Chain A
């Protein structure tokens, strides 16, 4: 059936046609999930370059149409469409944002029997009894293909914690039995956290590496590093290949930390630390690879090997890592910083000022996709970039840029950064002597004041 036929049917109060039309227009919109953020950046850039017609206007039209038909179907009593209307109102898609109205539509959808609306209603409700009621109702629904794991989990947690209902461990266990192993473990960990009853965590720790790590952390808090180490090792034994950020691999890296530091009851053992870091690194965990490479670089627990260290840092430098939805393409700044430092000093490689500048520039988080403020910028690297511009080493001499980056150094770090004070001095000095920029005694005095404020001088 084509669009026109559906419109006619919808106008004749055909709810199914209304829903189909709404879904059809929704498909055509560009509702971009957060993990596609980079595409958005790319798209904006592409539009700028090609001066293509603005897609936003077309997009707006489809969103408004999708909202219109969901609303028609919802008002005609369709439960699923009520949830659709609510989500459009909540996220301001094709309509102005109205949280109160969105919540009201979720409640109406829940009462009309839509499981998604029930879950949201449970989530947004501030009344514990109401929350429990909706979680339980959605968990009890019997609809093919319906994902009820979260509702079942919440129902079990509420019974175990006595939230919104009488505490009933037998019923909690009954509901937990309906979950798969991973959800069961995660529910038990949540119950342990809410109730403070460690027996739930112990049960989860029988098979869940995350729970094992939580157990270990509890012992770390008690300063019992020997028992903590045993739990971390137990978690490490659950390693599965191909999951570089899995708890088991993180546990290996933490075991390395304990040996590297030498905590109470555990002797400092660089060789053992290097072994554990290497094991985690071999599974693809870059954080551990950085740590083992730092040991290689310093010759701790292993024979110093600058060439291998430079090779490792360079490799990690170019590995894309996902640190969350808003930083989909961050590179590892620490590895880049060390690779730059080694290149600058010719350690394990030949010194090269152009390559050094480029590496510091990326370590400073200044590449195009990272133009926005990045918490992972390394102040030392920003200072080095400024210096390269100032001296014309590795980059064309540019005093204005140097000034800009010296000032940027000051916006990062806690003031203790070694180059913080140097940057203040440099800016003051540039204004004082008019080096590369117009002489400005007032500004120079301002910076001198900052310098005096930063130390005893």
Chain B
């Protein structure tokens, strides 16, 4: 089954399917084939595959290629409003691997996401405290809490610097 899957994945990945390229990369990673892992991970990330981009950014960061890693996290944050990437940008700044401009960029992005998703009304500013009334929005709620927390972290950093 694994062989068949691998063959299929190779065919599809070579035809340009980024998702299959990422899947292929994860199989090589599990098998300890580092060269092929990185090759397919990079290819998949180039197709803008979400999972691959995240993993590739992590790989770059571990290899001290901070500039490239930061650029990918920035793109992920902007394209997908991805909270983990936003958090990574803040972590990188705190560890001296990032820059203040990207932090401000994320802060503005969070405000933008917030206003787009939750149009202003009486409760817009406090919607995260409305669990009791908005418990239908569990997923969105958790996302919003995460973004608000990251924004608070950034504001604190900016105030201290």
- Please report A residues at the B interface, Cβ cutoff 8 Å: 213, 216-217, 220-221, 245, 247, 250, 253-254, 257-258, 260-263, 268, 287, 290-291, 294, 323-324, 332-334, 337, 375-376, 378, 387, 391-393, 414, 416-419, 421-422, 425-426, 429, 433, 435, 455, 457
Q: How far is the CA of A258 from the CA of B23 in the complex (A)?
A: 39
* Interchain CB contact under 8 A, A334 and B126: no
Q: How many residues of B contact A (CB 8 A)?
A: 42
Given the complex, which residues of A lie within 8 Å of B49, measured CB to CB?
422
* Interchain CB contact under 8 A, A393 and B5: yes
Of B58-66, B96-104, B138-146, which binds chain A? Answer: B138-146
* Interchain CB contact under 8 A, A213 and B136: no
For the A-B complex with A262-B149, A263-B152, A393-B5 known, give 17 more contacts whose Cβ atoms are closer than 8 Å.
A217-B130, A245-B132, A250-B132, A260-B149, A261-B148, A268-B149, A291-B145, A323-B136, A324-B136, A333-B138, A334-B139, A337-B139, A378-B139, A418-B80, A418-B82, A425-B19, A426-B19
Nearest neighbor of B113 in chain A, beta-carbon distance: A416
* Interchain CB contact under 8 A, A416 and B81: yes
Given the complex, which residues of B lie within 8 Å of A332, measured CB to CB?
138
* Interchain CB contact under 8 A, B117 and A414: yes
* Interchain CB contact under 8 A, B48 and A421: yes
| Contact indicator per residue, chain B 119-140, by CB within 8 Å of chain A (1) or not (0) | 0001001101111100110110
* Interchain CB contact under 8 A, A435 and B139: no
Given the complex, which residues of B lie within 8 Å of A220, measured CB to CB?
125-126, 129
What's the nearest-Cβ distance from chain B to residue A256, in Å?
10
* Interchain CB contact under 8 A, A250 and B131: yes
- Please report B residues at the A interface, Cβ cutoff 8 Å: 5, 8-9, 12, 15-20, 23, 47-51, 79-82, 113, 116-117, 122, 125-126, 128-132, 135-136, 138-139, 142, 145, 148-149, 152-153, 156
- A253, A261, A393, A425, most chain B CB atoms within 10 A: A261
- Contacts A333-B139, A414-B117, A418-B80 given; indicate if A217 touches B152 (C-beta within 8 A): no
- B48, B116, B136, B139, most chain A CB atoms within 10 A: B139
- Contacts A220-B126, A261-B148 given; indicate if A419 touches B132 (C-beta within 8 A): no
Nearest neighbor of A435 in chain B, beta-carbon distance: B12
Nearest neighbor of B1 in chain A, beta-carbon distance: A392
* Interchain CB contact under 8 A, A257 and B129: yes
What's the nearest-Cβ distance from chain A to residue B36, in Å?
18
* Interchain CB contact under 8 A, A375 and B126: no
Given the complex, which residues of A lie within 8 Å of B148, measured CB to CB?
261
What's the nearest-Cβ distance from chain B to residue A386, in Å?
10
What's the nearest-Cβ distance from chain B to residue A252, in Å?
11
What's the nearest-Cβ distance from chain B to residue A270, in Å?
10
* Interchain CB contact under 8 A, B19 and A387: yes
* Interchain CB contact under 8 A, B149 and A261: yes
Q: What are some 9 contacts across the A-B interface (CB < 8 A)? A: A217-B130, A221-B122, A221-B126, A262-B149, A334-B139, A391-B23, A393-B5, A422-B50, A425-B17
What's the nearest-Cβ distance from chain A to residue B84, in Å?
9
Nearest neighbor of A260 in chain B, beta-carbon distance: B149
User: When A and B form their complex, which 8 residue pairs have the shortest distance between CB atoms, in order from nearest?
Assistant: A418-B50, A262-B152, A261-B149, A220-B126, A250-B132, A418-B80, A416-B81, A261-B148
* Interchain CB contact under 8 A, A392 and B5: yes
Given the complex, which residues of A lie within 8 Å of B132, measured CB to CB?
213, 245, 247, 250
Given the complex, which residues of A lie within 8 Å of B8, measured CB to CB?
391
Nearest neighbor of B5 in chain A, beta-carbon distance: A391
Nearest neighbor of A256 in chain B, beta-carbon distance: B145
* Interchain CB contact under 8 A, B17 and A426: yes
Nearest neighbor of B116 in chain A, beta-carbon distance: A414
Given the complex, which residues of B lie within 8 Å of A247, measured CB to CB?
132
